[in-house]
Structure 1
Amino acid sequence: MNPTSLPVVALTLGDPAGIGAELIARLLARPETTALANVVLVGDRWLWEDGQRIAGVRVATDEVRTLAEVRARTDITRPALLEVRSIDPAAVHRGQAGAPGGRSVLQVLDQCMDATLAGDIDAICFAPLNKQAMKIGGLQHEDELHHFAEHLGVTGYFCEFNTLGDLWTSRISSHVPLKDVANYLSIERIEQAAALIYRSLRDNGVAEPRIAIAAFNPHAGDGGVCGREEIDIIIPAVARLQARRWPSASPFHGPFPADTIFLKAQAGEYQAIVTMYHDQGQIAIKLMGFRRGVTVQGGLPIPITTPAHGTAYDIAGQGKADVEATWQAFRIASRMGAAHRLDFVEPF
Structure 2
Amino acid sequence: MTVHDPHRPVIALAMGDPAGISPELTAKLTCLDEVRAVARLLVIGDRRVFDEGARIAGLTPDLPNLSPSTDPRSIAGEAAFMDLGHLDPATIERGVAVKAGGAFALENYRRALVLAREGQADAVCFTPFNKKAMRLARPQYDDEIAFSAEIAGLKTPASEFNVLDKLWNARVTSHIALKDVASLLSVERIHRALTLTNACMRRAGFATPRIAVAGLNPHAGDGGNFGREEIDIIEPAVQAGRAEGIAAEGPFPADTVFLRAKGGAFDAVLTMYHDQGQIAMKLMGFDRGVTILGGFPFPICTPAHGTAYDIAGQGIASVGASRAAVLLAAEMAGAARIGDRAA
What's 1:267 paired with?
A: 263
Counterpart CA distance in 1 for 2:53 and 2:28 is: 9
Query: d(CA) in 1 for partners of 2:47 and 2:125?
Result: 18
CA distance in 1: counterparts of 2:74 and 2:32, whole angstroms: 23
Q: Partner of 2:41: helix, strand, or coil?
A: strand
Instruction: Give 1:91's aligned residue.
Output: 91
Inter-CA distance 3–139: structure 2 relative to 1 (3 Å threshold): farther
String of CA shifts for 1:2-52, please: whole Å, max 9, x gaps: 611111101122101110110111122111111111111111010111111
Is contact 2:213-2:250 (8 Å) kept? yes
Asked if the contact 1:203/1:344 (under 8 Å) is kept, the reply is: no
Using the alignment, how far apart are the partners of 2:339 and 2:118 within structure 1?
A: 14
Residue of structure 2 aligned with 1:329, choices 325, 328, 343 = 325
Tell me the amino acid that sits aligned with residue 275 of structure 2: D
Contact 1:291–1:322 at 8 Å: present in 2 too?
A: yes
- 1:21 equivalent in structure 2: 23
User: Which residue does 1:62 correspond to in 2?
Assistant: 64
TM superposition shift of 1:196? 1.4
- Equivalent in the alignment of 2:205: 205
Residue aligned with 1:4, SS: coil
Contact 2:20–2:94 at 8 Å: present in 1 too?
Answer: yes
- Give the conservation status (yes or no) of the 8 Å contact 1:170–1:275: yes
Give, in angstroms, the shift of residue 70 of structure 1.
Answer: 2.1
Deviations along 1:138-186, one digit per CA (max 9) or x if unpaired, are 1513212211112222222211101111101011111111110012211
Matches of 2:161 and 2:201, distance apart in 1: 10
Counterpart residue type for residue 12 of structure 2: A
Deviation (angstroms), 1:343:
5.9
Q: 1:67–1:120: 8 Å Cα contact kept in structure 2?
A: no
Aligned-partner Cα distance in 1 for 2:305–2:84 = 25
Pairwise CA distance, 1:80 = 1.2
Equivalent residue for 1:299?
295
Distance 2:207 2:304 in 1: 25
What is the CA–CA distance in structure 2 between the aligned matches of 1:117 and 1:151, rounded to whole Å?
8
Q: Distance in 1 between matches of 2:86 and 2:333?
A: 26
* Superposition deviation, residue 342 in structure 1: 4.5
Answer yes or no: is the 8 Å Cα contact 2:13–2:112 preserved in 1. no
- The residue type paired with residue 157 of structure 1 is P
Question: What CA distance in whole angstroms lies between the structure 1 residues aligned with 2:159 and 2:139?
Answer: 18
Shift of 1:117: 1.3
Structure 1 unpaired stretches of 5+: none
Deviation at 1:63, TM superposition (A): 2.2
TM-score scaled to structure 1, two decimals? 0.93
List per-residue Cα deviations over 1:66-86 (Å, max 9, x = no partner): 36522133x32x311111122
Q: Provide the C-alpha distance between the structure 1 equivalents of 2:30 and 2:103, rounded to a whole number of angstroms.
A: 25
Q: Pick one of 5, 28, 33 that aligns with 1:3.
A: 5
Letter of the 2:170 partner, please give it. Answer: S
**Within 2, Cα distance between the matches of 1:329 and 1:67?**
27
Cα pair 1:55 1:319 within 8 Å, conserved: yes
Q: Give CA-to-partner distance per residue, 1:176-223, whole Å, 9 cap, x none.
A: 111100122111111111121222222222222111111111111111
TM-score (norm 2): 0.95
Per-residue deviation at 1:301?
A: 2.3
Equivalence map 1:192-231=2 (5 Å) = 192-231=192-231
- Please state whether the residue corresponding to 1:32 is helix, strand or coil: helix
One-letter code aligned to 1:299 = G
Partners in 2 of 1:102 and 1:168 — Cα distance?
29
Matched, 1:123 2:119: no
Indicate the RMSD between aligned Cα atoms, in angstroms: 1.8
CA contact (8 A) 1:140 1:147 kept: no
In structure 2, the residue corresponding to 1:291 is in which secondary structure?
coil
Would the alpha carbon gap of residues 68 and 215 (structure 1) be closer, same or farther in structure 2, given more than 3 Å must change? Answer: farther
Q: Distance in 2 between matches of 1:67 and 1:117?
A: 16
22-31 vs 256-265, greater mean Cα deviation: 22-31
Aligned structure 1 segments of 4 or more residues deviating by more than 4 angstroms: 342-345
Pairwise CA distance, 1:234: 0.6
Aligned equivalents of 1:33 and 1:236: distance in 2? 43
Question: CA 1:162/1:263 → structure 2, altered by over 3 Å: closer, same or farther?
Answer: same
Contact 2:8–2:38 (CA<8 Å) still a contact in 1? yes
Change (3 A) 1:341 1:312: same
Q: Residues 87, 290 of structure 1: CA spacing in aligned structure 2 closer, same or farther, 3 A cutoff?
A: same
CA contact (8 A) 1:67 1:115 kept: no
Alpha-carbon distance between aligned partners in 1 of 2:49 and 2:333, rounded to the nearest angstrom: 26
How high is the sequence identity, in percent, across the aligned residues?
47
Letter in 1 for 2:208: E
> Structure 1 residue 93: deviation in Å?
1.0
